[in-house]
Structure 1
């Protein structure tokens, strides 16, 4: 045995976390030697195997420890130029790692901008000096003039935000002025504290530019953004500005909730109901829930959190009902704008194969003749979901996924929207040679084409043809395409906008007086128990794009309408939608969930397994279930039998899952925490041939 050695005088052992996924088994901080004590939160570069990686000092070791020769490796670099990440931020990361069953390093290092992980200490120092010179030489932008006066409802909301000791659920109708409340709450904060910071979260990148314009017009250079649409250099620059307190207001998407903001005193989660706030990979955290916890950690600074939506998540609505959140209602739309009237089209009374009912087409034509705009919602992109052979039954299936290849007519391609596989449309059926291949179903591309044909004879006031636009993931892919389309709608260059749910999220369209949903019924009877909530939210949000400018509607002498094509006009969901009565819908849904013991009246987690063969994934999950038989909390947790996921195969990998459910969150968390080491052991020693990876998803939104 090698002789024990004492570290050199002054050297100390420090605990460092490094990026490692939960299934790697490297969950605990690693011990290294540093020449001197290092503050927790300090970024360092350390050797890991044959590599050198970025790490973070988590907790110092008070006294040097004797260790076998070579057991402790020295820290390679200390990033002296960067202030350590503070205790509140580390507490947030620790909570996220603990609650979502991830490693500290996986959460902590993933929260940093990717470019930061590739720099040396010297390179970072040069970046900081360059950024300082750029700020010194840049001419500051001038914020806009006086903010508008607030309505009584907005004033009440601001007063509650200023004084509440609980999270505030701002239940504001679409067009009720929630954004102005965010702006004025932020302005009050900055006026009160010259060093305070505010974080404003939006669910998707496509909402960021519009909100950013309003914040920059009000606050100038105090605003910065954090989202994946930035270049790596921009993300690093903006993160550094936030970490060093130079950015007073940060606008961002889900990942921004983990940004370092040492003087954070206000968090706004706009459209808090949106499922995009729940990560579907990595730590699988909910940014909305972490925002609430982060505000609690900042209570000593007076940090407050505002969750805003016209259609809150049922979990948030229930939290307000039982007193955990304070609900503030803003029921009236700004400027006296009216709610759209619901018009249900019974598709059973229409000719077979009808895409747009004649009455709906006539209503659209009437709007366009008066210089108004219409929005048509179809939550399926592409030209058709599948092409098929009538002779033998062949369908365009993806070779790598349990899904069909979607037909895109524009470039005559078949594409998988799950793995990205693409192929040319075959000239004939691959199985029988039949050349008559038929598109089945419809997507936004086909709907755009059919609308253009149906409205071809219609002319605008200047004599030019009616213009149809489309907004979905395909058309928004190119740089600047999203902004160009939205600007065309705002300017009136587009008369009818066809799109997926992207068009229903937060956009302030001023001349739209008719919204139509043309393929609604799929969600009414979906196997997903969240489907009614998602459908009602989508239709309410889409309806909210219409009639936002009351003066324009009045001048036109128009009536604002929401048209819904359905074969089930008597469904109770439409009765609540006709009244724009989210409260009644939420009460009915919560009653059903309470009866069935579903969230928020129970708590769930999924153990997912991915393997080359489905049998291997299911077998591993059965072993995992057996390993949980004696764990803490087990009597209060139900483990269901492992089953294939709805989308069983993606990119050649078979997927299965095991659902855990409990009425007691602490029992579920206790079981998961004790289960995790056994899952690592099971992965390492059990018969796991073919198993690729596994992951735990706490509070899952999709199954």
Structure 2
């Protein structure tokens, strides 16, 4: 007579917004931690991740449900990944299931098998194939495919659109074939191309030597002025890691920076390189995830979420532009990829390099206190020189679409020499507001405490905060006047003005409005590099990490608003942006100039940046932060809440403060409730509560107490709320 074995217990997490784990019964043998199982949850079946095999449960065994099926014969997340995610759950005080499932591609969250599937790859049919000289993009596609088959997604991130591929297929130069990815062992075959290896400067050589000689967990802060060759340092420190058969993770802040990074790395290393970013489809993301886990990929270049990818043999982490706020997730599980990367490097006992021309104050503070080793690159290699800085006083000056006569003259001089110029304005659209000249009516968004932005191409009013759009009114709805006019300056207006002043030159505007179509951003960058455009106008998208050797003049328009912002981090952000934008000038052998047009040329911040540089500014600003007890000399958590009615939010936060205040640790400061700078956004009233402490332990205790109180408040069910540990911006 057969005996049914007694089931064991599984403790699992589910992708639900509940701060708890769940117990289920499971037949023996039990799946290992890191495996997925399907489980009944409410009236549906969900995918769960096994964390442990507890000896007992708080729930009576007769009330426990049994799992439906085991989905993985082997763990898909290893012990080191599980430890990292467990730490993140505790530190960021977020629902554990949503933290753990953040590390899984969407297809694995849905319960699909952790296997490769056939994917469509484009193949080159003739190695000698060529096209006419005018078909630049087609030739670029052929050159890429000579290195091996690529998916449409891999080609798209390199600037090759589907239309280009179809055109080549019609010419029977390429064809699409379905095939399985070919996971293989690249170790022992890490050929390095020395063709483009430049001679290192003394500072670069020292940085490479110190990083390569490091043993175990070693955090380095590589502070290098723009154009000083940080990427070359990255390439050289990667070489021995790859030759030892270990993998390298390179984090970049934005998708737009991945193609040029990939290109540099492909030229140097003949090893498999994968990317991970939000522009990939679900299948591509899973295949890249699997190739990292299986050690089929040597280098992975990705944005924030790539940090949570499993690696078989990770040997080095590099975070480029470490100061960038894109590394901080701003919704859901609000983790900071830089901070978690440091923990992951410590757990794996490997070196980590944080690179930036404008390091975050947190990183500079850690370097000053000895937690990081600071490496400095203060010179540009070769004949490239640091750009000259010029402050233009725009008071009492007649401006034409935000351009002073002196600036127009400087632009004209550089263009006449055959150079390129760049104008930076971090406001898209034609004008930030539309008003009636006769009665003063302003076109305000009905759902936000903000004005509509007037766009001309296509003509519309568009709220950049809630994304609501409406047609341009033919007349003022208040007085009937047709004297409607824009006020303020946007990139469209600057483009229009410069087209009239310099009709003989090619002009390109790069902002979110004209880069929405897939591949368009890369096409615009290609046009800049091949000389199609001489005048470049853009927002932040154009300021970060791009190398334009013919740009000799960079002008920053209308930056005065950043000098008087309410967020204490505003000056740090402005300084970083100023230096990043300035870094686009004079990157090759041509001397560069940076022009800042301002009504406040005597402002201490501008004078400091223009004359002393970022490091001097940061040193002074850090002293001010220390005196005020602000981060990085203290630690913060921000509790945000919103609801359709202001009363609902205020009632919730006031009740929370009343119950929280008596139990707060003595070193914790509670500020608020405070309204957001924009109180109403997308029809929601927004308020916040700030907790600040001198050490992380007291702050964590205060946050846990707040969460426990919220769980008991009936008013919490009428609002949407979130807790952000180590926030990088206030509402």
User: Residue 700 in 1 paired to residue 731 in 2?
Assistant: no
Contact in 1 for aligned 2:710/2:716 (Cα 8 Å)? no
User: Which of 536, 560, 578 is the equivalent residue of 2:592?
Assistant: 560
Contact in 1 for aligned 2:190/2:243 (Cα 8 Å)? no
Residue equivalent to 2:333: 283
User: Residue 571 in 1 paired to residue 579 in 2?
Assistant: no
User: Which of 41, 48, 61 is the equivalent residue of 2:41?
Assistant: 48
Contact in 2 for aligned 1:11/1:64 (Cα 8 Å)? no
User: Residue 269 in 1 paired to residue 319 in 2?
Assistant: yes
Residue equivalent to 1:215: 265
Cα root mean square deviation, aligned: 2.4
Residue equivalent to 2:161: none
Task: State the distance in 2 between where 1:438 and 1:374 align.
Answer: 29
Alpha-carbon shift at residue 330 of structure 1 (Å): 0.8
Task: State the distance in 2 between where 1:138 and 1:419 align.
Answer: 48
User: Residue 477 in 1 paired to residue 516 in 2?
Assistant: yes
Contact in 2 for aligned 1:40/1:84 (Cα 8 Å)? no
Contact in 2 for aligned 1:83/1:244 (Cα 8 Å)? no
C-alpha distance after superposition, 1:204-239 (max 9, x if no partner): 111111111112222345210111011111111111
Contact in 2 for aligned 1:177/1:333 (Cα 8 Å)? yes
Task: State the distance in 1 between where 2:81 and 2:585 align.
Answer: 41
Secondary structure at the counterpart of residue 167 of structure 1? strand
User: Residue 111 in 1 paired to residue 111 in 2?
Assistant: no
Residue equivalent to 2:125: none
Task: State the distance in 2 between where 1:406 and 1:363 align.
Answer: 30
Residue equivalent to 1:3: none
Residue equivalent to 1:166: 218
C-alpha distance after superposition, 1:470-515 (max 9, x if no partner): 1111112111111011111111111011001111101011100000
Residue equivalent to 1:190: 242
Alpha-carbon shift at residue 532 of structure 1 (Å): 1.2
Instruction: Rate the CA distance shift 1:490–1:353 in 2: closer, same or farther, 3 A.
Output: closer
Residue equivalent to 1:516: 555
Residue equivalent to 2:494: 447
Secondary structure at the counterpart of residue 597 of structure 2? strand
C-alpha distance after superposition, 1:57-89 (max 9, x if no partner): 0111247999443x2222223233554311111
Contact in 1 for aligned 2:414/2:552 (Cα 8 Å)? yes
Deviates more, 1:126-135 or 1:224-233: 126-135
Instruction: Rate the CA distance shift 1:129–1:479 in 2: closer, same or farther, 3 A.
Output: closer
User: Residue 673 in 1 paired to residue 704 in 2?
Assistant: yes
Secondary structure at the counterpart of residue 634 of structure 1? coil
Task: State the distance in 1 between where 2:535 and 2:185 align.
Answer: 42
Residue equivalent to 2:147: none
Alpha-carbon shift at residue 19 of structure 1 (Å): 1.0
Contact in 2 for aligned 1:616/1:689 (Cα 8 Å)? no
Deviates more, 1:483-492 or 1:154-163: 154-163
User: Residue 535 in 1 paired to residue 567 in 2?
Assistant: no
Alpha-carbon shift at residue 143 of structure 1 (Å): 6.7
Contact in 2 for aligned 1:81/1:125 (Cα 8 Å)? no
Residue equivalent to 2:538: 499
Contact in 2 for aligned 1:611/1:654 (Cα 8 Å)? yes
Instruction: Rate the CA distance shift 1:8–1:400 in 2: closer, same or farther, 3 A.
Output: farther
User: Residue 642 in 1 paired to residue 638 in 2?
Assistant: no
5 Å matches for 1:409-448? 409-448=456-495
Task: State the distance in 2 between where 1:699 and 1:382 align.
Answer: 33
User: Residue 621 in 1 paired to residue 668 in 2?
Assistant: no
Secondary structure at the counterpart of residue 706 of structure 2? helix
Contact in 2 for aligned 1:12/1:63 (Cα 8 Å)? no
TM-score computed with the length of structure 1 as normaliser: 0.90
Contact in 1 for aligned 2:250/2:299 (Cα 8 Å)? yes
Alpha-carbon shift at residue 259 of structure 1 (Å): 1.4
Alpha-carbon shift at residue 391 of structure 1 (Å): 2.7
C-alpha distance after superposition, 1:393-448 (max 9, x if no partner): 32121122222211110111111112211111111112222211111111111111
Alpha-carbon shift at residue 98 of structure 1 (Å): 1.2
Secondary structure at the counterpart of residue 431 of structure 1? coil
Give the ranges of 4+ consecutive aligned residues of structure 1 lying more than 4 Å apart after TM superposition. 62-68, 128-132, 136-147
Instruction: Rate the CA distance shift 1:447–1:244 in 2: closer, same or farther, 3 A.
Output: same
Task: State the distance in 2 between where 1:222 and 1:137 align.
Answer: 9
Residue equivalent to 1:320: 367
Residue equivalent to 1:467: 506
Provide structure 2 residue ranges, at least 5 long, that are not aligned to the other structure: 121-177
5 Å matches for 1:24-423? 25-62=18-55, 67-69=60-62, 71-80=63-72, 83-121=75-113, 124-125=114-115, 127=117, 133-135=180-182, 144-146=193-195, 148=197, 149-164=199-214, 165-192=217-244, 194=245, 196-299=246-349, 303-351=350-398, 355-423=402-470
C-alpha distance after superposition, 1:529-569 (max 9, x if no partner): 1111111111111111111111xx2xxxxx42101101111
Residue equivalent to 2:158: none
Task: State the distance in 1 between where 2:439 and 2:96 align.
Answer: 54
Instruction: Rate the CA distance shift 1:47–1:244 in 2: closer, same or farther, 3 A.
Output: farther
C-alpha distance after superposition, 1:131-180 (max 9, x if no partner): 99431799999874545143322221112222345310001111111001
Provide structure 1 residue ranges, at least 5 long, that are not aligned to the other structure: 1-6, 457-464, 554-558
Deviates more, 1:218-227 or 1:28-37: 28-37
Task: State the distance in 1 between where 2:283 and 2:383 align.
Answer: 45
Secondary structure at the counterpart of residue 524 of structure 1? helix
Secondary structure at the counterpart of residue 383 of structure 1? coil
User: Residue 586 in 1 paired to residue 618 in 2?
Assistant: yes
User: Which of 690, 700, 712 is the equivalent residue of 1:659?
Assistant: 690
Alpha-carbon shift at residue 32 of structure 1 (Å): 3.9
Secondary structure at the counterpart of residue 635 of structure 1? coil
Contact in 2 for aligned 1:170/1:307 (Cα 8 Å)? yes
Task: State the distance in 1 between where 2:34 and 2:511 align.
Answer: 41
Instruction: Rate the CA distance shift 1:66–1:656 in 2: closer, same or farther, 3 A.
Output: closer
Residue equivalent to 2:130: none
Task: State the distance in 1 between where 2:428 and 2:451 align.
Answer: 13
Secondary structure at the counterpart of residue 594 of structure 1? helix
Task: State the distance in 2 between where 1:53 and 1:688 align.
Answer: 27
Deviates more, 1:506-515 or 1:665-674: 665-674
Contact in 2 for aligned 1:613/1:690 (Cα 8 Å)? no
Residue equivalent to 1:16: 12
TM-score computed with the length of structure 2 as normaliser: 0.87
User: Residue 612 in 1 paired to residue 644 in 2?
Assistant: yes
Task: State the distance in 2 between where 1:367 and 1:494 align.
Answer: 14
Residue equivalent to 1:4: none
